[in-house]
Chains A and B, each alone.
Chain A
Amino acid sequence: MLAAQVLINALVLGCLYACIAIGFSLVWGVLNVINLIHGSFIVLGAYLAFGVYQWLGVSPWYALAIAAPLFFAFGYLLQRLLLNRVISAPVLVTLTLTFGLDLILNNAMIYYFKADYRKLTLSPPTGSISLFDVVVPVDRLIATVSALALTGLLYLLLRRSKVGRAIVAVRLDRDAAVLMGVDVKSIYAIAFGLGAALAGCAGVLMALIFPISPLTSSVYLGKAFVVCVLGGLGSVSGALAGGLLLALVEGIGSTLIGPAHATTLSFVLLIIFLVVRPQGLLGRKGFE
């Protein structure tokens, strides 16, 4: 049935959206920085998966294990050395700074990798599963499960580990965290590194499903934005809620008024939420 297909598609896409957004959400929620490089991180992760598969013959799943520490280190250093200097500056400055960084990264990718679209095609191809008239491509399914696993890992990290608790503390009340002895500068760098790592891993998963090109980084960024506003900042559950809602709206909207309007719809939804419920479905008020 059409309805079931739309629903399953939304479910699958929603989890992928959540995975794209979770790193972005974490950085925004904890550092109060809108990281405009996020989209480019994702694309870079996709290139990593592509390169690793194309030239080393290594399965993309292993690319996840390579991407995570690499991107974490990149993000950690970026925050510690550069972003930290403007961390207490107004919105305008941090936004423009990350925009500038994104220009550099994106330009570098276009220069070295060229803007042509590439596709990571697994051989042998994995095909798709069909259940009661509902079709799901296997690669998408596995990517979804991996995406859920990643977000689950983050959830456990935030809940169970000492670093995770510190990150949540800083997100809830920065000054109180300082008084409790948390090294906020270090936490900021770790959180940003985590955000980068999650973006890189999300990119690896995206490589399995979507074509890769530096030109797509703004698309990913746009999705991350909308998911964060819809679902709420800084929490895994928020990212999941936002991702599912966005995918559902896009899916139903596509079916009813055509896919060309799907992007417009998502941004109109963004504006509506910003005005009516800026903290999102599951978020907490605050974070100007």
Chain B
Amino acid sequence: MTRVNLALLVLIACVASLPLFGGAYALRIGTIACMYAILALSWNVVGGFAGYPSFATAAFFGFGAYATAILLDKGVPLSVAVIGSLVICFLLAATLGIVLLRLRGHYFAIASLSLVEVFRELVNNATDLTGGGMGLNIPLASGSGILADATFFFYAMWGLLLTTAVVVMIVSGSKLGFGLNCIRQNETASNMVGLNSTLYKSVAFGLSACFVGAAGGIYAAWVHYIDPSDVFDILYSVKPIVMALMGGLGSPLGVVCGAFLYLGLEEVVWRNYIQIHSGVLGLLIIMLLLFLPHGLISLRAGMFWRKAKHV
């Protein structure tokens, strides 16, 4: 267990205590914080570890949301529905990955972006199953009273975050993680030393999608109503990237910090500048990319640890 991984677990543990400090608002923020962290951690597997800039996060978030919603509609219990979405998203992404990950750089970015469009349109058109553009209502799943409901979903999202973080940490220290690191640095050389890069990339893509899908499922159950333009919003693809860039590409601790910081900024901006909040987001992105290209972790490494290690 490296120092950085330990710090990450401690951070996540601290978040669990949030319900003690606040009411409905704190719970809502906390749930979104956990969700953002899951998206950022997941993206980091394919974008940070393997070096493939994926814009497909929204595609699987939406897919997971709808998969869970449809399963709930059929009477499946929530936990089963979410796990089901997780598995489906993993398999779907791994399969699509075999084809899409043959592309590099810009082409892969566009292809992954197009996935979002294609999924959204497919859902839009499958009106019998998904309600199409009119959206889908999800039955209230648990508890009584607003607060009980909110607490349940906070811990559901938190539990998923913990799972995601643990899996990512295991991957990071494993042969898979080492292999993805090789692929990122020099894919040709990786193949030459006997690494089956197609398999590794495919698994990475699957991992980057499965927890995102599960998060989408919990989100759907939480908000009780979803429609295609809401869950297949391109911003669900872009925000994790910004969070990862803010916190430090490649580092799980970094991206989670980036996610929390991003949410903090988003809340401040939303509450004060609602009409221009997307413009402010844009400005933030630009400042970040111009002045802090390696993210926060590049600052911290200098301050707190003597040797800067790329996690």
Contact = CB atoms under 8 A, between A and B. Distances in A.
- The yes or no verdict on A and B being binding partners is yes
Interface in B236-289: 238, 241-242, 245, 275-279, 281-286, 289
A284 interface: no
B289 A263 contact: no
Contacts of B14: none
A96 interface: yes
Contact of B110 (A97, A218, A274): A274
Nearest to B121: A264
A287 interface: yes
A271 B114 contact: yes
A102 B125 CA distance: 29
Contacts, number: 118
- Residue from the set B102, B242, B285 with the largest chain A CB neighbour count within 10 Å: B285
Contacts of A146: none
Given A103-B282, A264-B118, A267-B121, A229 B110 contact: yes
A275 B115 CA distance: 13
Given A86-B289, A97-B289, A99-B238, A225 B118 contact: no
Contacts of B238: 96, 99
B107 interface: yes
A278 B109 CA distance: 13
A213 B104 CA distance: 34
Contacts of A261: 121, 125
A28 B107 CA distance: 11
Given A82-B286, A100-B283, A271-B114, A95 B125 contact: no
A89 to B, nearest CB: 7
A126 B117 CA distance: 36
Given A92-B47, A270-B114, A271-B118, A260 B125 contact: yes
Contacts of B242: 96
A142 interface: no
Contacts of A274: 103, 107, 110-111, 114
A85 B287 CA distance: 12
Contacts of A122: none
A80 B293 CA distance: 19
Given A95-B109, A229-B110, A268-B118, A103 B278 contact: yes
A172 to B, nearest CB: 18
Contacts of B55: 95
A288 B283 contact: no
B289 A93 contact: yes
Interface in A83-112: 85-86, 89-93, 95-97, 99-104, 106-108, 111
A103 B285 CA distance: 10
B10 interface: no
A259 B124 CA distance: 13
Nearest to B275: A111
Contact of B279 (A96, A107, A267): A107
B192 interface: no
B281 A103 contact: yes
B139 interface: no
B10 to A, nearest CB: 29
Contact of A85 (B47, B109, B245, B290): B290
B211 to A, nearest CB: 21
A287 B279 contact: no
| Chain A contact surface mostly | helix
A217 interface: no
Contacts of A270: 110-111, 114
A237 interface: no
B125 A96 contact: no
Contacts of B53: 90-92, 95
Contact of B284 (A100, A263, A264, A267): A100
Interface string B95-111: 00001101111110111
B223 interface: no
Contact of A99 (B47, B103, B285, B293): B285
Nearest to A86: B289
B122 interface: yes
A263 B105 contact: no
Contacts of B241: 92, 96
Given A106-B278, A264-B118, A270-B110, A96 B103 contact: no
A278 B114 contact: no
Contact of B107 (A82, A85, A95, A288): A288
Nearest to A34: B106
A278 B103 contact: yes
Interface string A247-288: 000000000000011011001101100110010000000011
21 contacts: A28-B106, A34-B109, A90-B105, A91-B53, A92-B241, A96-B242, A96-B245, A100-B289, A103-B281, A107-B278, A107-B282, A111-B275, A260-B124, A263-B117, A270-B111, A271-B111, A271-B115, A274-B110, A275-B100, A275-B102, A288-B105
Given A261-B121, A267-B118, 12 more contacts: A86-B290, A91-B53, A92-B53, A99-B282, A104-B286, A261-B125, A267-B117, A267-B121, A270-B110, A271-B100, A271-B111, A271-B114
